[in-house]
Amino acid sequence: MASSAALAPYQAEYIELALKWDIIRFGGPYTLKSGRQSPYFFNAGLFDTGLKLQKMAECYADCIVESGIEFDMMFGPAYKGIPLVAATAMALAKNHGKDVPFCFNRKEAKTHGEGGNLVGAPLRGRVLVIDDVITAGTAINEAVVIINSQHNARLTAVVIALDRQERASEESNESAIMQVEQRLGVKVYSVVTLSQIIEHMKHTRGEETKDDIEGMLAYREKYGCIS
């Protein structure tokens, strides 16, 4: 299990910002899509100002560079992936000198002008998908269909904000991320994991957030799957 000291600087910053801006929210229970009652809720949609989006994208970019992923372009699945992929491309260019092409899809194909359902650079080569979380893998599955429909394009990896590290279903011992990795044969990277959030809060907040930490630990004990 990662300790706070083992976190990369961008990971510690991401957790601090998520806590400061209530991206990670406590005081539940919150009902998830799975129907589970969670003591915390993560909503990347609340990175909803220019500064917040910039800071989040910088953490994505740092994660990408640190991971050493080899890719030719990035793809953002509609809708949440659209601002994520654009902002991450800007952060890669500004902070790392990497001018990376990107594109995203429309939910409905455009029937006039240039037409089609893709916007941005041509979708080709090794494609890195940028998204917020993986719950059931639906958005990733849709992205793979789009990528595979393009000549000479293939999925090479996925980067998300948070790995909740919980079982995909009551019948499975695998997380949704594990299932995606096995099904698609690619690696899913996360900016942070639930374990890292817990350990960081233990080291930086201690008694102040004892109840929140204990709630996450109990939830992980019941549904956890360390990926």
pLDDT tens per residue across span 90-131: 999 999 999 999 999 987 665 444 546 899 999 999 999 999
Helix, strand, or coil here: 37?
Answer: strand
- Which range, 8-12, 103-107, 116-120, 137-141, is most confident? 8-12
CA distance linking residue 187 with residue 45, whole number of Å: 24
76 strand-pairing partners: 104
Catalytic residue, candidates 20, 110, 203, 222: 110
31-74: per-residue pLDDT in tens?
887 788 999 999 888 889 999 999 999 999 999 999 999 999 99
200 belongs to the catalytic site: no
Question: What integer pLDDT is reported at residue 16 of this predicted model?
Answer: 95
How many alpha carbons lie under 13 Å from residue 12 in its C-beta half-sphere? 13
Q: What is the dihedral of CA 214, 220, 221, 223, to 10 degrees?
A: 140
In this prediction the pTM is: 0.89
- Give catalytic status of residue 112 as yes or no: yes
What does the pLDDT look like over 78-89, one tens digit per residue?
Answer: 888 999 999 999
For the chain, list the domains and their CATH numbers: 4-109+117-223 (3.40.50.2020)
Segment (H or E) for 197: helix 194-204
Identify the active-site residue in 33, 107, 112, 151. 112
Distance CA 1, CA 199 (A): 8
